[in-house]
Amino acid sequence: MKTLVISILRIGDLLMQKPLLQSLKDQGHEVHVLMNKQFQTASELVADVVDKFFYFDRELYQKSAGEAQYNILYGSQLINELITELNSESYINIYNFTHTRLSAVLTGAIGAKTRFGAHYLQGTFHGNSSPWAEYFNTHFSAPRGSLFHYTDLLAKMFNLKVKPFEIRQRSQRNQLIFLQCFTSDKKKNWNLKNFVDLKKAIEEKYPFHLVKVLAAPQEVRELSSYFESLDIWECDLATVAMLLKEASLLIGLDTSLKHLAAIQGTPVVEINLGSADNIKTSVYSQKIWQVSSNVGCSPCAHATACPQSSHLCGEQITPQNVLNAVQEALALRANDFEQDLESDRLVWEIYLQGYSERRFQPSATYLARTLKLMEWQVRLEKALTANSRLFNVQNLQKDDVADFILLGQEILKSKSDKGAYFLKLTDALIHTPPRGDLMLRELEKAAQESRTLLKIRSDFSLGVKSGQNYGTNFEVGA
Amino acid sequence: MISKVAQKWVDSLGELPAANIILLGANQTEQIFALSKAFPQKMITVFDIVDFPFKVSESNVSYVVCKSKEQLFVSEFFDFILEKKPLVITNRGAWNGREQEMLEFFGHLTGRSAESLKYHLLDLGCDIKSQIKVGSLASIKDVFNSVDTNSLNQNHSLLIMKELVR
């Protein structure tokens, strides 16, 4: 069964999609992948689960549109040639793993019996209506919005079975520890002096390990001001992949390198700063070790500059914090913070797909959080009843929705809505529609969603009270 | 033997991704020779509005002379442009005193003049709006504005380009 996968994002995304490609392969698909030409070298990293690659030359298409010396339809002609080449494969299926407007149009342009995911056909976008696709659309781009990892979300959208990468046994690894010190986004970087102190601390604690700094060619100069040249290992992607496969540990920032280490079965200590998210785009491994800040603005929005006068999240994290995580990772002791989110994941799974296979034993904290969430829901319902007059307001002012704004601010400031049950409410308040009736409609939709989610959550709490465990195959109303 | 000046000019061009190249301006044979040697795999058409007597005789170099846009639009060479969509490079040193005309031809050869754009879109099978308005040189956004909405929605490659420049 010939299947094309559209994956035209960056290297890290392709690496996180590897379990999905593996799943297709396991189902007997002949897997072809269309990826960005500029990341062509990364195709080697997933070549074991892909039968054939095609390349989307995004840079050239865009360059040809912007530079006058190119024929005005040159980019369009190249795209036509690519579509013709792809159509000659006569695909049965196309999976759009990219989930953007561009990839949707591309998916609609290529012939196939069945298209999975977003696609554009006859002037309309399709494939975005499933509950999981809607969750992806509304929750994934919001800071702290998604409870599910990127790979898990795509797997749910496409109904594919995936499992996190396994960590290889210590005996299969050498005594090398790598540091990776730069990202392409300044706000995700950690002060280089911290990396120097961390290196010293690791060397003192683990005298039999070698600690080296991995560097891309353009990073060497800056790193040379902080590290001995012998400690800086400049290498390309293929060499890094080889080195990471044997290493004891990678300590790094939010880049594709951490995903590369994860697919090689190497433990990773992630230092997640700026917009780097502990859940959505963490390494997809059986065990994860993370160091992140708890300052109010963290994680911040993607693709915007740090809004603070100094880099608060980076300043809060010390080399000792990272060293603690290194000790855990070298001993392969897993963090247990994930447990805290399991109840929220379970609730969302039941809401979106009607069942959950998670095993979770709710605690007293779970019940206390449920009560807090219920209190907000009651206030939201009351505010809706008290503000029905908004329906006739033509030019909505902030004062008109003050009750909702106060509630939304309280929810955001408390940081207690870890399950993003009220995300639709805060979204509606941020993007306030100008007319009262439209605003009320958004608020009612938000209230309906949180009402249903909290009903599931409280049903679950009642089950706990009566000593039952609904963690496995729990169904709504069961 | 390639002169330093000609070699410097060729080096300044960088990589040329298209298989077919039009060089606009025929009056500097040294540069044309250097170009043909630097890119032996590419087909180079030297275009001018004047027929100059000295020509480079390399297998990958050919010459086209058109004195008016009317002559260009009905020529086989324009059919070649519509089919292959070559990259147009300029050698302004060879334009002496003819800058305005040569710039106009630059627009015709790249499909970026209003008339040339019309022919390009018709060749693509698009329904176009009654009047195409562009500035001195059309941008890709002018393409989308020139094509009838239904026609645009049926043309996958244009829709993809539209998303790429969004």
Judged against a pLDDT cut of 80, whether residue A353 lies above it is answered with yes
Q: Is B91 on the interface with A (CB under 8 A)?
A: no
Judged against a pLDDT cut of 80, whether residue A149 lies above it is answered with yes
Judged against a pLDDT cut of 70, whether residue A144 lies above it is answered with no
Which amino acid is present at A455?
A: K
Q: Are B164 and A102 in contact (CB under 8 A)?
A: yes
Partner-chain contact A58 B163, CB within 8 Å: no
pLDDT tens digits, one per residue of A243-298: 999 999 999 999 999 999 999 999 999 999 999 999 999 999 999 999 999 888 88
Q: How far apart are CA A257 and CA A12, in angstroms?
A: 8
Q: Is B68 on the interface with A (CB under 8 A)?
A: no
Q: Which residue of B has its CA nearest to A111?
A: B156
Instruction: Please give the ipTM for the structure prediction.
Output: 0.96
Judged against a pLDDT cut of 90, whether residue A145 lies above it is answered with no
Rounded to a whole number of angstroms, the distance from the CA of B136 to the nearest CA of chain A is 11
Query: Which of A69, A106, A120 is the closest to B87 by Cβ?
Result: A69
Rounded to a whole number of angstroms, the distance from the CA of A39 to the nearest CA of chain B is 17
Strand partners, A233: A214
Q: Is B111 on the interface with A (CB under 8 A)?
A: yes
Q: Please report where in the chains the tokens 């170009």 appear, as a residue.
A: B35
Per DSSP, A332 falls in state T
> Prior bond to A299 cis, omega within 30?
yes
Interface test with A, best of B143, B151, B164 (most A CBs within 10 A): B164
Partner-chain contact B87 A74, CB within 8 Å: yes
User: Is the torsion defined by CA of B59, B65, B66, B71 positive or negative?
Assistant: negative
Q: Are B68 and B78 in contact (CB under 8 A)?
A: no
Between chain A and chain B, how many beta carbons pairs sit less than 8 Å apart? 88
Q: Is B4 on the interface with A (CB under 8 A)?
A: no
Query: Which of A79, A101, A123 is the closest to B161 by Cβ?
Result: A79
Q: Which residue of A has its CA nearest to B86?
A: A71
**Residues in A touching B120 (Cβ below 8 Å):** 71-73
Q: Are A216 and A196 in contact (CB under 8 A)?
A: no
Judged against a pLDDT cut of 60, whether residue A474 lies above it is answered with no
User: For B14, left (φ over 0), alpha (ψ -120 to 50), or beta?
Assistant: left
Q: And the tokens for A339?
A: 């447990």
Q: Are A190 and A315 in contact (CB under 8 A)?
A: no
Interface test with A, best of B120, B136, B158, B159 (most A CBs within 10 A): B159
Judged against a pLDDT cut of 50, whether residue A444 lies above it is answered with yes
Q: Which of B26, B30, B23 is nearest to B3 (CA)?
A: B30
Tell me what pLDDT residue B10 has: 94
Q: Are A266 and A168 in contact (CB under 8 A)?
A: yes
Query: Which of B106, B143, B160 is the closest to A79 by Cβ?
Result: B160
Q: Find the DSSP H helices in chain B.
A: 4-13, 29-38, 69-73, 76-84, 99-110, 114-123, 140-146, 149-154, 156-164
Chain centre to alpha carbon of residue B138: 13
Q: Kindly give the pairing relationship between strand B43-48 and strand B20-24.
A: parallel
Q: How far apart are CA A422 and CA A433, in angstroms?
A: 18
Judged against a pLDDT cut of 50, whether residue A466 lies above it is answered with no
Tell me what pLDDT residue A478 has: 32
Confidence category of residue A465, pLDDT binned at 50, 70, 90:
very low
Q: What are the residues whose beta carbons fall under 8 Å from the beta carbon of A324, sequence distance 6 or more? A: none
Confidence category of residue A475, pLDDT binned at 50, 70, 90:
very low
Tell me what pLDDT residue A469 has: 46
Q: How far apart are CA A105 and CA B28, in angstroms?
A: 46
Query: Which of A70, A102, A108 is the closest to B164 by Cβ?
Result: A102
Partner-chain contact B165 A62, CB within 8 Å: yes
Q: Is B140 on the interface with A (CB under 8 A)?
A: yes
Judged against a pLDDT cut of 50, whether residue A5 lies above it is answered with yes
Per DSSP, B128 falls in state B
Residue B43 host element (H or E):
strand B43-48
pLDDT tens digits, one per residue of A18-50: 999 999 999 999 999 999 999 999 999 999 999
Query: Which of B106, B137, B157 is the closest to A76 by Cβ?
Result: B157
Between the alpha carbon of residue A147 and those of residues A236, A448, A459, the distances in Å are: 34, 20, 20
Q: Is B67 on the interface with A (CB under 8 A)?
A: no
Q: Which of B161, B117, B159 is nearest to B135 (CA)?
A: B117
Q: Which residue of B has its CA nearest to A58?
A: B164
pLDDT tens digits, one per residue of A203-232: 999 999 999 999 999 999 999 999 999 999
Q: Which residue of B has its CA nearest to A73?
A: B85
Partner-chain contact B89 A73, CB within 8 Å: no
Interface test with A, best of B139, B147, B151, B161 (most A CBs within 10 A): B161
> Which residues of chain B are under the pLDDT cut of 70?
none
Q: Which of A182-191, A203-212, A294-303, A315-324 has the lowest mean pLDDT?
A: A294-303
Confidence category of residue A473, pLDDT binned at 50, 70, 90:
very low
Rounded to a whole number of angstroms, the distance from the CA of B98 to the nearest CA of chain A is 19
pLDDT tens digits, one per residue of A424-441: 999 888 887 889 899 999
Q: And the tokens for B135?
A: 């500035």
Q: Are A67 and A93 in contact (CB under 8 A)?
A: no
pLDDT, chain A, mean: 90
Tell me what pLDDT residue A356 has: 84
Q: Which of A156-165, A350-359, B61-70 has the lowest mean pLDDT?
A: A350-359
Q: Which residue of A has its CA nearest to B162?
A: A102
pLDDT tens digits, one per residue of A397-417: 888 899 999 999 999 888 888
Q: Which of A173, A168, A226 is nearest to A197 (CA)?
A: A226
Judged against a pLDDT cut of 50, whether residue A476 lies above it is answered with no
Interface test with B, best of A60, A71, A103, A110 (most B CBs within 10 A): A71
Tell me what pLDDT residue A168 has: 87
Query: Which of A58, A77, A101 is the closest to B85 by Cβ?
Result: A77
Query: Which of A74, A79, A122 is the closest to B18 by Cβ?
Result: A74
Rounded to a whole number of angstroms, the distance from the CA of B52 to the nearest CA of chain A is 24
**Residues in A touching B110 (Cβ below 8 Å):** 68-72
Per DSSP, A394 falls in state S
Judged against a pLDDT cut of 80, whether residue A472 lies above it is answered with no
Confidence category of residue A468, pLDDT binned at 50, 70, 90:
very low
Backbone angles phi, psi at A52, to 5 degrees: -155, 140
